[in-house]
Amino acid sequence: MAKYRYVYTEFWTDPKVSEEMTPEDKLFWIYCLTNPAVSQIGVYTITKKAMAYELGYSQESVNSLIDRFENHHKLIRYNSETREIAIKNWGLYNYKKGGKPICDAIKADLKKVKDLELVRWALNSCLTSIKADEMNREIVSIMMNFLGDVPKELIDDTFHDTSNDTPTLGEQKENENKNEIQKEKIKEEKEHDVVNSPYQEIVELFNKTCISLPKVIQLTTPRKQAIDALLAVFNDITTFSMLFDRAQNSSYLTGKNDSGWRADFDFLLKEEKAIKVLEGGYDNFQNTKKVCENKLKSSFNNFKNREYDGVELEKMLLAKSNKELIDEYEEGDGFYGEN
């Protein structure tokens, strides 16, 4: 079935869009609302690498945009661990029509979500809006029943006033069990990620290999994100080993340069710098001037300079010529073979 997403024409006249967003912001926001991964509930899984590829941006640019939309515009939330994104006020524009196909799709999308807090945040952002009563009641009831613990005070009595929407004790118990299962699932996945995380291994590899560079003391979130970005490019840790080996063997990167500057862990985690290091851009090289001087020294021209004026040179040539004539005379019968 084809997917359609509502983008109202008032999008372009919204003051938040027209006055507060840069051209890059507008493109990113439209992308968040309409990309192929978007679900019926406004919470979906998408990797930063996929965003960067489809938008034609670098992963650093995508990281900046996500941070900007989370902390400045406050229009999304992104869970880097589950790689899920939630869109604020999604329901105000997409929960207009109900019906079995739509409701079935919403139920299916809810089951795919790992971080239920994202669903809760997205729904609450709609319920606190003055346009909340414009949403389809059946869809909102499905989401509330699935979550089980959405505060009732968020809902206007005129919007949610039917006894059919109130879950039975059995349904409430079932919802509680679902929440517990989801929480346990997220907990297990987080524990699995910690155990199998390559972050610490990469840090230890750097500290062990790059003994001439500043050691890493703390593994921060930005560093984890940078490692994730490089892993998406390198695919394995072996390349990190090659990267650190090459950096340690580079005189320039280890401080043997005019300024005494040294590279560090953060420098090597930048994608363009890492690629340059791996391609030999910082490898050692001989001083060109010294190489040229050494090549000039040979048996052909490695002699002491002599200085003569014109008169001295003429005398030397005449003397040498006379000597040759005398030698020829003595060896033969006179000059030119005469008797």
pLDDT single digits (tens) 266-314: 999 999 999 999 999 999 865 444 444 554 554 445 555 566 566 676 7
Average pLDDT of span 183-211: 74
pLDDT tops 70 at residue 57: yes
Per-residue pLDDT tens for 326-335?
665 566 555 4
Model pLDDT, residue 306: 61
3-state secondary structure at position 262 = coil
Looking at residue 153, the DSSP 8-state letter turns out to be: G
Higher pLDDT, 246 or 101: 246
Instruction: Output the average pLDDT for the chain.
Output: 79
Q: In this structure, are residues 199 and 219 in contact, taking their beta carbons and an 8 Å threshold?
A: yes
pLDDT tops 80 at residue 12: yes
Q: How confident is the model at residue 58 (pLDDT cuts 50, 70, 90)?
A: very high
Helices 221-234 and 199-209 cross at an angle (nearest 10°) of 90
Model pLDDT, residue 339: 46
In the numeric block, which tokens belong to residue 99? Answer: 């019906």
Sheet harboring 76-79: ordered strands across? Answer: 43-45, 84-87, 76-79
pTM for the full model? 0.45
Per-residue pLDDT tens for 212-267?
999 999 989 999 999 988 888 887 788 999 999 999 999 999 999 989 999 999 99
How far apart CA 221 and CA 197 sit, in angstroms, is 13
Higher pLDDT, 124 or 309: 124
In the numeric block, which tokens belong to residue 164? Answer: 């059919």
Looking from the CA of 36 toward its CB, the CA atoms found within 13 Å total 7
